Structure 1
Amino acid sequence: MSTGFQLLITTLVTALIVSFLMFFIYKVRQIRTKRDVRKAYYNAMARLWFGVFLIIFGTNSIVQFNTVVTYIIGGIFIALGIINVTHFNKARKYFKSNLPIEDEAYDKLNKQ
């Protein structure tokens, strides 16, 4: 194996681990928060990172294994990952714009 191929595989595996850790971090944040909009925001972020994980996993499988079945399955993973990333990026933007509104309502509720 060439050095470039090994570097590519190492980079993909590192990105795979980082994306899974980010997914896990946002899922834990989602579980721990009590606020509804933040919970939805953290869910959108977690699922966005899961989409990134799927894209990297599909790419990694296509790069490492050169069979027709791998190309089909890797393509399915990449397609599902792209769908996840686009959908939950829109959801993330929507919920992020509502976070200040929720903060105001939460502050008013706690001051009473």
Structure 2
Amino acid sequence: MEMLYQISVSVLVTLLLASLFLFLLFKVRQIRSRRDVQSAHFNSISRIWLGLLILAFGLNTIIQFHTAVSYIIGALFIILGAYNIWHFNAARKYFKGNLPIEEEAWEEFERKQRQSGK
């Protein structure tokens, strides 16, 4: 039983660190992007990773601390993280569908910039 506890805590901490890293990675990609739809797409992906981080934190709280307060707080974090994942996954799908439209508009804009520059 003790080994299962250690493995579950190790997996959750690894998930916490990985989701934090990926959240920061996609936030940097969002900030560095010059395109609006692409920036919103990266924002939605980063928020999905943030939701996973919150969810894993709630699970970790419930597993490590066995008090009524930690169960309530852990459940709130799990609900908040799951809602965050669900909501921003829908946003990600929406913006992913608009990426080709923005790509065409961006290419046309750059083509006009090159023609006016010559």
Q: Tell which structure's C-alpha radius of gyration is larger.
A: 2
1:25 aligns with 2:25: yes
- 1:47 counterpart residue number: 47
Runs of 4+ in structure 1 over 4 Å off: none
**Aligned-partner residue type, residue 60 of structure 2:** N
Count of equivalent residues:
112
Q: Distance in 1 between matches of 2:78 and 2:34?
A: 33
Residue 43 (structure 1) shift:
0.7
Task: With the length of structure 1 as denominator, give the TM-score of the two structures.
Answer: 0.97
Residue 3 (structure 1) shift:
1.4
Q: Distance in 2 between matches of 1:21 and 1:75?
A: 24
**Aligned-partner residue type, residue 55 of structure 2:** I
- Aligned-residue sequence identity (percent) comes to 49
Residue 53 (structure 1) shift:
0.5
1:29 partner SS: helix
- 1:95 counterpart residue number: 95
1:111 aligns with 2:111: yes
**Aligned-partner residue type, residue 3 of structure 1:** M
- The gaps in structure 2 that reach 5 residues or longer are 113-118
Residue 99 (structure 1) shift:
0.4
Q: Distance in 1 between matches of 2:6 and 2:81?
A: 24
